[in-house]
Amino acid sequence: MSRMPALYLGHGAPPLVDDPTWTRQLADWAGKLPRPSAILIVSAHWESAPLTIGATATGVPLVYDFGGFPERYYRAQYRSPGAPDLAAKVKALMADTEPVAEQPDRGLDHGAYVPLTVMYPAADIPVLQISMPTLDPQRLLDLGRRLAPLRDEGVLIIGSGFLTHGLPFLREWRIDATPPGWSAEFDAWTAETLARGAVDELIDFRNRAPGMPYAHPTVEHFAPLFVTLGAADDPEAPPVQEIEGFWLGLAKRSVQVV
């Protein structure tokens, strides 16, 4: 069984599936990875404490947690197998360190299923979503560290967010919109800080990063990055920056750690 990397990716909105450039980038990325035995995903769109395990049965309806889009986006399906065995392993890894709750009727939200429809369109790999129990970077690093042993069992750990997410401050709503200064500056700072392995600086992004708070008026879309970094062999080792560029002027930078 192949040891899997861990990923942080920009999941876009539902129209991501209509962007030929981004879908090609995600599909090509997935094609370079070993086939996972299962996928464990932490999405910006599910904050819940304590850490909560979502549906483990196959066929639980998706969560269409968005509004204002054409009807066809609300008919999307992703019937991946449930992952009860993976859920049991997550609970075991959290024993004595993190309380765990279960929400068996909570299906995958769009931060989980939208990129997976591009990366693994056959929906034949078991998927488990867990909540993000905190937005504190250090605690999320610790969570990623506790989940890291799953990589040796072929589990692909994904933190799904968006490197910049200043939706209230966008003036152009076009895929090829010019990135606002705050988005470009935050993206460049993050790329350079990751390349230096300066995790302490990343943890303090609210105070150090240019473009704040416009890049993240709320920080839930940046926070999953810390789960991914925590799952790395060495969180300070520079990750591979697999995708870069902008979508609606927002940074879609996505990275892979080993």
DSSP of 197-218: T-HHHHHTHHHHSTTTTTS-SS
Share of the chain above pLDDT 70, in %: 100
Burial grade of 255 (CB within 10 A; 0-12, 13-18, 19 or more): buried
pLDDT tens-place string over residues 151-172:
999 999 999 999 999 999 998 8
Q: Is 78 helix (H, G, I), strand (E, B) or coil?
A: coil
- What local confidence, expressed as pLDDT, does residue 118 receive? 97
Packing angle, helices 137-147 and 84-94, rounded to 10: 120
Q: Give the whole-angstrom CA distance, residue 86 versus residue 205.
A: 32
Counting every residue written for the chain, the total comes to 258
Q: Give the whole-angstrom CA distance, residue 228 versus residue 210.
A: 22
Mean pLDDT of the chain: 96
Is the Cβ–Cβ distance between 9 and 158 less than 8 Å?
yes
Q: Is 11 helix (H, G, I), strand (E, B) or coil?
A: coil
What's the one-letter identity of residue 34?
Answer: P
* β pairing state of 246-247 and 250-251: antiparallel
Q: Give the whole-angstrom CA distance, residue 60 versus residue 185.
A: 40
- What local confidence, expressed as pLDDT, does residue 97 receive? 86
| H-only helix segments in 50-136 | 84-94, 110-119
For residue 256, what are its two tokens? 């892979």
Q: Give the whole-angstrom CA distance, residue 114 versus residue 14.
A: 6
Domains and CATH numbers, the chain: 6-164+219-257 (3.40.830.10)
- What local confidence, expressed as pLDDT, does residue 162 receive? 98
Which residues of the chain are under the pLDDT cut of 50?
Answer: none
